[in-house]
Structure 1
């Protein structure tokens, strides 16, 4: 596995420079070992079968029927896969025991094994993409990118960060102190890294790999075992990950029980049970804020890292490229039906209108022109399905229907159902745009609540200053991962920069063309800041890995001369 050393060296360099780089191609044609057709065949070959992992403590199965915990594709059919269910009283002690040999390995040895796991996952990227389509409802391009190769980038980023932090101190050296009488006092010193224990990874249904791989690989490379607890609607992508990880660990002489799966039966509340186990010392969680707050308040024995709800906002104050802005914004709102954690929700527009290269545009004109851009982008059902993807949960469908019925505010641009050409059972909706007035208390409360899905609020604000204030308020009170703005004013830009720095949210300005507010450049951008209620952790930052191990020193007298 020495072939991974150059890869790790390059990853370490890029984390320093923050330049563009990825070892995992985005081009689907670059994968000759498994092309798209082979990936679909591999996915289809998993359906309606048991998913064996040969884990300790298996005491039954989860699934295959939806009523017994089996997954159903958002595109309209049950997967029919059954997963092993584990007894925590057997599984967790076995995982803790497996850590001894892993801890004895050097940080570089662990990093090389992690890189091999990612290499094997990468070789099956088309299969992982199909798993993302039929668990999270991604469109095919989103599935291949965020569900496969970009998730792998996030994993390697965490491996490189872990390797860097574990090699910051020398493993062994001699320390010399000159004394007043001319002699020298010498000590031999060593620094060794001690992992905390079992790491519990609790993932959501939207991006189980993209959000899950950072915690999985950060814990693994720092010497910890990882128990993966996937969302019941999106087990398959992480079950495949666990299977590959166990294969690589076994082949490289380590215990496969360093990585295990915890599939959940309906009503079991397994995450709560596991989170309080004394063996669990690290928890990575992606999901709703209520459970994130419960974890941080109750799992006192563990370091808890949470990524939860976000209410993202953008301000449209002025633009020198009105059509470019509309096209960029329309695609941003349509992409994956607004189910991205970085999707904007609140579109803040001055009541008196905005200045553009096409002259002054009123609030109503901006909203109408945005609706026309959405209609043009999504006019054809087949093309629309490829951009939107399916709504991954019934709660999202209910949210769109409620907004479309005018129950949240005035419907300024209605949603419509889209028929998928291959999957007529898929539930797909175009965005609905609702007009809100923040001066009305009930509508102001709506702006401070996350509405995940293709539901957007065109908010009539009194001024750019008022819009900036609302952007900051939503981030501070409800949490935010991204903020955007279109402005030609240096003064407005300065105010936005100050507000976003104060509330801890990444700001994107005047985007057009092929880069969108929702995108994150791995190895370059940070994801999250830990400075607002959207979470307490940051992907891509050294702090994400440093708390997963401790360093213990040994000092030994050598000689004095």
Structure 2
């Protein structure tokens, strides 16, 4: 049995249990505290990040033909880090060369190596936070949590599912079929886990680790070799990940080329050619719907996607108007709306709603949300910590054009005191219900629409119809009517959307908890896979059998 597997057996067993119970459990602390990660961890990580700037990133023994890299921090400076790059054929050949040895490693040893890598990644969470912050634009606290412990837990979750699915297949059994009065037919049967082959993980700009770790670790645990293709603007977090996994493999005498880095630059992307290679068997992708459709139509591998969606909020009534507005304000502001779970469309009855503060008109509800955003972001330091920076300059262009799409409820502005950083606070625009060309497209970034509807059920119908057609990952409902809540739960479930109801406290529609929340259902165009369920891992391997007549061993 693998020494690393035994070292982390308790962690693995608890993770498997958590996937079955779906109650709260956390393997890694989300609190960036020196008492947990070491008193000097934050300062040491900042120094380590600074020491990488302007230098080549060292990946020992990794295929390398030319240095590449042109990352620019959304906070206003160039990273100047270069990474070893190689041709697609070189990467694929190196991956194939490692695949036989990696596939023959017993599942427990592969799982143990993945667990060790995740623990080491957790120990480096402060350094990863700096890397995520200065490639994605997330504020530090969010970069720490989402880029560090939360991403690591999603990776652990996929390893737990992979282990559970592989363990459902026994390695050996004696099969005995009765033959009436004759002797039974007795066979000795053996089963083996057979990996699919080369897996390619396509990283995204906004959540480079959180969205990549599930597929990366699921494939590795199931015996597939992995090529990680980061977004050109967010290479560093995944380069660090590849480096740490390779270190673990090398120390165990396992092939480090079981995981490789395939960086590129904007305008010279290798993605299409890499994914089209005949030896690529598995593809994990997060990004736009258009490129997701290209992948599904032009590649031969098994494809797991998380794509764009249009998330909606439907407001019917509330017992806590201020709490509702504050909760939505945070959801709209968090990471400047650059989350795949951020709400875009807010459907409000044109006749207004009933609240604990009395009846509120459509405009009063819209302005209540806008005022809550103003209160939340009034302090520049808090605004910077909530909004972070804008990952892609194109998002600022969308905000500028968004001002002309309807009646301005709240204008967007830069966050004060952020120097050269790209920043933008939420833009809220009122549009008519027949303006589906406006609100019926994803407007990625801090752009939201308030839309008058006949009543709460009309809002639910519009939101679910849009989700079924264009995709959605999350939805929120505010209602004091039990029948309306049941109606919404049924409609959103059929549309393949996860629904949150009456959130007013410290949990938000944007957030997804590992080991409890299934992120994306796979039931609408926002993605064909869920992070993480059994279906996400079970098809990453085949089962092969050999059998022979059973003969009892001589005594």
TM-score tier after normalising by the smaller chain length? over 0.9
Q: Deviations over 1:237-266 (max 9, x none)?
A: 000000111111100111110000001134
- 1:293 corresponds in structure 2 to 293
Equivalent positions of 1:55-454 (< 5 A) are 55-63=61-69, 70-300=70-300, 302-404=301-403, 407-420=404-417, 423-439=418-434, 443-454=435-446
Could you report, residue by residue, the CA deviation over 1:412-460 in whole angstroms, capped at 9, with x for unpaired residues? 111121134xx51112111110001112xxx211111111111110111
Q: What SS class does the counterpart of residue 417 from structure 1 fall into?
A: coil
Secondary structure in structure 2 of the residue aligned to 1:121? helix
Give the deviation of 1:56 after TM superposition: 4.9
Deviation for aligned residue 1:559: 4.0
Higher mean Cα deviation, 225-234 or 49-58? 49-58
Structure 1, 259-268 or 378-387: larger mean CA deviation: 259-268
Does 32-41 or 466-475 show the bigger shift? 32-41
Aligned to 1:533: 525
Q: Any runs of at least 4 consecutive aligned residues in structure 1 with deviations exceeding 4 A, and if so which?
A: none
CA distance in 2 between counterparts of 1:159 and 1:34 reads 30
Could you tell me which of 481, 484, 487 is aligned with 2:479? 487
CA contact (8 A) 2:63 2:91 kept: yes
Local SS of the residue matching 2:148: helix
Q: Alignment partner for residue 12 of structure 2, among 8, 11, 17? A: 8
The superposition leaves residues 96-137 of structure 1 with CA deviations (integer Å, 9 ceiling, x where unpaired) of 121222212221211110000011111010000111110000
Distance 1:498 1:266 in 2: 43
CA–CA distance in 1 between the matches of 2:463 and 2:548? 57
Query: Partners in 2 of 1:492 and 1:55 — Cα distance?
Result: 60
User: In 1, distance between residues paired with 2:39 and 2:117?
Assistant: 16
Deviation at 1:530, TM superposition (A): 1.1
**What SS is found at the alignment partner of 1:93?**
helix
1:518-561 CA distances to partner (integer Å, 9 max, x unpaired)? 1111001101111111010011110000111100011111149x
**1:529 aligned counterpart, secondary structure:** coil
* Cα deviation code 1:149-183 (max 9, x no counterpart): 10000000000100000010211111112221152
From 52, 63, 79, the equivalent of 1:46 is: 52
Mapped partners of 1:383, 1:15: distance in 2 = 35
1:66 aligns to what? none
Give distance in 2, aligned partners of 1:378 and 1:138.
Answer: 16
Kept in 1, the 8 Å contact 2:62–2:84? The answer is no
Aligned residues: 547
Quick one: distance in 2 between partners of 1:111 and 1:129?
Answer: 25
In 1, the alpha carbon distance for the partners of 2:302 and 2:480 equals: 44
Q: Deviations over 1:307-360 (max 9, x none)?
A: 110100010110011111111111111111111100000000000000001100
Q: Is the CA contact (8 Å cut-off) linking 2:31 and 2:145 kept in structure 1?
A: no
CA distance in 2, matches of 1:33, 1:15: 32
Q: Give CA-to-partner distance per residue, 1:31-51, whole Å, 9 cap, x none.
A: 117621111111111110001
List alignment gaps of at least 5 residues for structure 2: none
Q: Aligned partners of 1:328, 1:114: CA distance in 2, in Å?
A: 37
**1:199–1:227 contact (8 Å) kept in structure 2:** yes
Q: Is contact 2:91-2:262 (8 Å) kept?
A: no
Whether the 8 Å contact between 1:480 and 1:534 is mirrored in structure 2 is yes
Output the CA distance in 1 between the equivalents of 2:49 and 2:24: 31
2:549 to 540, 546, 557: 557
When structure 1 is superposed on structure 2, of 191-200 and 488-497 the one drifting more is 488-497
TM-score (norm 1): 0.96
Give me the whole-angstrom Cα distance separating, in 2, the residues matched to 1:103 and 1:455. 47
Residue of structure 2 equivalent to 1:22? 26
